[in-house]
Structure 1
Amino acid sequence: MTDIGCALRSGGWLTPARITTYSRLLLALTIVAIAGWIALSDGLVDRNGKPIGTDFSNVYAAGVLTLHGKSADAYDPPLQHAMEKAVFDGRDVPFFGWHYPPFFFAIAAITAMLPYAGGLALWVVSSLLAYLAVMRAILPRRETLLVAAAFPAVFVNIGHGQNAFFTAGLLGGALLLMERSRPWVAGILIGFLAYKPQFGVLIPVALVAGGRWPTIAAAAATVTALVAISFAALGSEVWHAFFQSMTFTQTVVLEQGGTGWEKIQSAFSAARHWGVDVRTAYAVQAMLAVSLAAGLAWLWQSDTAFDLKASALASASLLATPYVLDYDLVVLAVAIIFFVRHGLAHGFRDYELSLLAAAWIVPLLSRSVAGLTTIPLGLIVLMALFALTLRRALTDRASEIGEQARIARA
């Protein structure tokens, strides 16, 4: 094996000094890029004619509609787009659709109580701090905040004004609370994740397999409460509008690739990017989801270390949905950090450090690589990380059985 192959296998190339240097470099580049992006904008519209915070404009516009008592209009593309234009004094900014369940209007309305710049700052800063706090709580080491802040998905998420910090914070926080025997609070956080329901497909599989009944009950109660409160506050019309809008979301945004195949990091999108028809692409996605569910069910009902269970659930949550964009890969930080914590406590095996490094950098490359080559790099790395997590669980179990046999023979 070559020196490069040996280094990749052992992970010896990834020294603490390199981790710190790479993280500082990427964080500095992120800060400069964001500052330049804002400085070169004209009235909070960038040089490409898009709002600063792009996707956040749909959140803010939906919040304004909510404050005006017109929440249901957010699910009507022409009316939503008209409000997005009005936010920017009638400028012809692109349309960014509102696809969230009605209970998320509460967050949108809070941001709309401030001017657009203030609402965007509140949205980004509060969610970023929540994400960083959860990462630090999972792995309380000096370098955690630096590496978590420099994670390239952070830059992608800020650039899009998206909500992946909330998603990662809620999922990571829920897993941490489960580990700390606070199942009811963990369930509440999982219930809040219903604002992005596509990422919760496999969570019930893991919880049922692990017998986490209090967490399941708390999650179900939280979702029920959120739906009931939104019905009471906004009426049934808004829920009717939401369900009607799902057809537009599914057909135009997902199936027809309105978002851009290179941006979506799923098996479905990869198949569609390669020219596969919609039905076959759904079949590919379904087969992957079933395989993931089987792996999670085995893992969560076993006595595998919780870190590996948590890591696998985070990566599987991203893989199971046909609609996961590159900014959603902030959630990948949850998978990485739990795996790293396990490795730091029990040692890393062959190729683990190198694959974790690949998972850390992939959000910076996935869109460009897919756009230029149609190779779904993000999907490939996610699948490799999930498979590596299962492999680690198996090898740990084999090592434990071998050690028990050795002791029995002694």
Structure 2
Amino acid sequence: MTRLLTPARMRYAWIAGAALWGGWLLSLLGGSGGLDLAGQVIGTDYLEFYAAGWMIRHGQAARLYDPEAQLAAERAILGPSLPAYHAFLNPPFLALLFVPLSLLPYPVSFALWSAMQLLLLALSLRALSPPSAFGKAMGWSLTFLPVFASVSFGQNGLLSLALLTGVWIMWRRNRSLAAGALSGLLLYKPHLLLGLLLLWGMEGPRGWRALFGLGLTGAALLTLSGALLPEATAAYGRFALNLYPDLPSWKEFPLWHLHSPRGFWRLLLPGHPRLTDALALLSALLATGVVLRFWRRHRADARRFAAAVALTLYLTPHAMIYDWAILLLPALLLWEHAPAARPALRAAFALVWLAFFPGAPLTALMVRYLGWGIQWTLPALAAAGYQTKLQPDTLNAQSR
């Protein structure tokens, strides 16, 4: 595949990325009343976050997980013609972040949130790449579909990337307690920590300190949530137990956007939830075995941390398209810390890029017309890992 990645062919990725962002911006500018040209809510998922902050401001925190109350709040914000209900699914402490943002008109608030996400992306890339490579890293990242999805959907994938980048910086500096404490801020999506939990559990006292820091932040967030939003905190516990075990079975759930083993098998074998969940578990176990073998051969922190983040996408039952923005972290870590492998890495990156850009709409079309589909990203990530085949490293100051 490396031979196919000529400069002329790689320019098509830039053209595709520019067309994607340009078309989206035109759709936003051509819309009205909080809707784009296609009649969809501007920012899509951002409405649920904005509405959560709005409900707290209006004394409705106790009904934060009541679908009827959420729908009424969203219609109060965008009007009675709202085309669909957007459910707030995260812990209540995340809603506190959107209380000040809900003071602004919805389009202005979404624009500010989008700008904040792009700033977090820039800060992450600046921390992970040398200054001379920052512009190229930023440009290529903007062509990566999960980055576009995080911004256009009004989601938090780039916030997750920034937090994991901060965790890496603390871990690299051997400040394991701080790394764990910072990782606790990701508890709005705890499944994105699964790879790190496995890594830290194997790292001895250093990893145990990180786990302790994670526990401290988790306790602090639970205390904060219980003190400021006691009814919502209790309601979230019940809501999560009833909802999360089988979220993909929701009638309106966009299964083609679920990029995890569970999503892969449920798309491929619809109507067989028990079988597909068993296959998803088997896939996660196989991926874990591969990464454990990788960790035995590689002791450098950068490679082990990169593998932990990538493994998360196989361990989690719930990784949407925008959550895959965190894959930029292992990509840049390997690029900087394994320069000899760059030809293979370039091919691996292209494979994952292709799995998303033409692959995601192809999956949606298959589901629509065939009733089943293939989620290309999980096999592409596995093939990319095999393509790379990094040589065992040695412990030295630079790699640590």
Structures share fold, TM-score greater than 0.5: yes
Q: TM-score, normalised by structure 1?
A: 0.85
Deviation digits for residues 107-157 of structure 1, max 9, x if unmatched?
Answer: 121221211122212222112211221122111224222222332222222
Deviation digits for residues 333-382 of structure 1, max 9, x if unmatched?
Answer: 122222222332x3346x44212211234332332122234121012112
* CA deviation after TM superposition for structure 1 residue 32, in Å: 1.2
- Check conservation: 1:207, 1:216, Cα contact below 8 A: yes
- Check conservation: 2:259, 2:320, Cα contact below 8 A: yes
**Letter matched to residue 158 of structure 2:** F
Distance 1:42 1:115 in 2: 13
Indicate the residue corresponding to 1:4 in structure 2.
Answer: none
Distance 2:180 2:192 in 1: 15
2:341 to 330, 347, 359: 347
Deviation digits for residues 193-217 of structure 1, max 9, x if unmatched?
Answer: 1111122223211111123233222
- Check conservation: 2:197, 2:211, Cα contact below 8 A: yes
**Letter matched to residue 40 of structure 1:** G
- Check conservation: 1:205, 1:293, Cα contact below 8 A: no
1:278 to 269, 273, 283: 273
Distance 2:113 2:277 in 1: 34
**Letter matched to residue 264 of structure 2:** A
**Letter matched to residue 198 of structure 1:** H
Indicate the residue corresponding to 2:374 in structure 1.
Answer: 375
Indicate the residue corresponding to 2:87 in structure 1.
Answer: 97
Change in Cα spacing, 1:148 to 1:171, as seen in structure 2 (3 Å) is same
Indicate the residue corresponding to 1:385 in structure 2.
Answer: 384
Indicate the residue corresponding to 2:196 in structure 1.
Answer: 203
The root-mean-square deviation of aligned C-alpha atoms, in Å, is: 2.5
* CA deviation after TM superposition for structure 1 residue 87, in Å: 0.5
* CA deviation after TM superposition for structure 1 residue 325, in Å: 1.4
Q: Helix, strand or coil for the counterpart of 1:242? A: helix
Change in Cα spacing, 1:297 to 1:207, as seen in structure 2 (3 Å) is farther
Indicate the residue corresponding to 2:322 in structure 1.
Answer: 327
Indicate the residue corresponding to 1:77 in structure 2.
Answer: 67
Change in Cα spacing, 1:302 to 1:109, as seen in structure 2 (3 Å) is farther
Distance 2:173 2:9 in 1: 32
**Letter matched to residue 227 of structure 1:** L
1:108 aligns with 2:98: yes
- Check conservation: 1:311, 1:334, Cα contact below 8 A: yes
Distance 1:284 1:72 in 2: 38
Distance 1:251 1:205 in 2: 21
The number of residue pairs the alignment matches comes to: 383
Identity of aligned residues (%): 25
Change in Cα spacing, 1:58 to 1:256, as seen in structure 2 (3 Å) is closer
1:32-47 equivalences under 5 Å are 32-47=22-37
- Check conservation: 2:309, 2:327, Cα contact below 8 A: yes
Change in Cα spacing, 1:238 to 1:93, as seen in structure 2 (3 Å) is same
- Check conservation: 1:85, 1:93, Cα contact below 8 A: no
Distance 2:201 2:245 in 1: 32
Q: Helix, strand or coil for the counterpart of 1:145? A: helix
* CA deviation after TM superposition for structure 1 residue 248, in Å: 5.3
Change in Cα spacing, 1:330 to 1:298, as seen in structure 2 (3 Å) is same
Distance 2:6 2:213 in 1: 42
Indicate the residue corresponding to 1:318 in structure 2.
Answer: 313
Distance 1:365 1:247 in 2: 36
Distance 1:112 1:247 in 2: 28
Indicate the residue corresponding to 2:5 in structure 1.
Answer: 14
- Check conservation: 2:117, 2:151, Cα contact below 8 A: no
1:231 aligns with 2:226: yes
- Check conservation: 2:195, 2:310, Cα contact below 8 A: no
**Letter matched to residue 120 of structure 1:** F
- Check conservation: 1:102, 1:230, Cα contact below 8 A: yes
- Check conservation: 1:315, 1:386, Cα contact below 8 A: no
* CA deviation after TM superposition for structure 1 residue 22, in Å: 4.6
Indicate the residue corresponding to 2:21 in structure 1.
Answer: 31
1:302-317 equivalences under 5 Å are 303-317=298-312
- Check conservation: 1:206, 1:313, Cα contact below 8 A: yes
Indicate the residue corresponding to 1:65 in structure 2.
Answer: 55
